[in-house]
Amino acid sequence: MRIEFITQDDPLYILPLFQEFLPLCEGKFEVTQISSCPTMGSRPRTQLMRELFALYGPWGMTKLIGKVASSRILGRLPASRTSSTFHSMAQLCRTHEIPYVRIGNPNATSFVDGLNQRKPDLIVSVACPYILKRTLLSVPPQGCINIHHAPLPRYKGMMPTFWQMYHGERSVGLTIHYMSEGLDEGPIILQEQLAVDAGEALDHLIRRSKRHAAGALYRVLGQFLAGEIRTSMPVKSEGSYYTFPTLAEIRDFHRRGLRAI
């Protein structure tokens, strides 16, 4: 079974999922390519940095920027498949001999043409920051699936882990579903919950939930391989939808005693 991933260039929160997943799928699935879009897609960089600074604070931002900088340096070094730590998606993919490409908007004709040439059976979106169009969604014969870290149809949209913490949820959801042209819609394949630890910071919870998603994705792909996929009804328009939090909502997050890092 040939699988292709579309994700975003994020060594902090996306890398843990793939670091857990790729050893699981070794010899079972063929990964044709992992394509990384810019982090947060086309969101203006200055606006993004201002919002992240408000969320993580001076010390948190310094820590995260340091991690990103070290990933760019240490990620260039060779690593083995038995390494306990990887520093970048490129380094991880080189080790597993998987093509890794940085792209722009995956709906671009040039990217879709490449998909048609690689002929994946299934596309998996992992935090892809773009809404995928019909032209792309129709390429793989077994469809496109998405991993969303919330109990759809609740918490559609951006930063679902933040919003579940903001609203005092005691657990965060995980939904793996078929993709349609609607945002976070399509028949649900799997839903699970992960308890939020007392006093857990957003940063830690996101990374922990990504690792949890790796095992869930592996089980779902096993169902595809065995021809045993079962789905629930498609996610309809009802539910709740959130965008990137405003500065006022970020300040309120901190006033509620919640920690980002």
Per-position pLDDT tens, the chain of length 261: 999 999 998 999 999 999 999 999 888 999 999 999 988 666 777 888 888 999 999 999 999 999 999 999 999 998 888 888 899 999 999 999 999 999 999 999 999 999 999 999 999 999 999 999 999 999 999 999 999 999 999 999 999 999 999 999 999 999 999 998 878 888 999 999 999 999 999 999 999 999 999 999 999 999 999 998 888 766 665 789 999 899 999 999 999 999 999
On whether residue 25 sits in a domain, the answer given is yes
On whether residue 159 sits in a domain, the answer given is yes
Could you give the number of structural domains in the chain?
A: 1
| Distances from the Cα of 105 to the Cα of 8, 28, 47, 123, 147, angstroms | 11, 29, 19, 15, 19
Asked if residues 137 and 179 have their Cβ atoms less than 8 Å apart, the reply is: yes
Range of the domain at 190: 2-255
| Amino acid residing at 21 | F
Sheet of 171-178: strand order equals: 100-102, 30-37, 2-8, 122-126, 144-148, 171-178, 186-195, 234-235
On whether residue 260 sits in a domain, the answer given is no
Q: Provide the CATH number for the domain around residue 242.
A: 3.40.50.170
On whether residue 60 sits in a domain, the answer given is yes
On whether residue 261 sits in a domain, the answer given is no
- 215: its two tokens: 């095992």
On whether residue 120 sits in a domain, the answer given is yes
On whether residue 84 sits in a domain, the answer given is yes
On whether residue 205 sits in a domain, the answer given is yes
Provide CB contacts within 8 A for 252, sequence distance 6+: 166
Please, what's the largest Cα pairwise distance for the chain?
Answer: 51
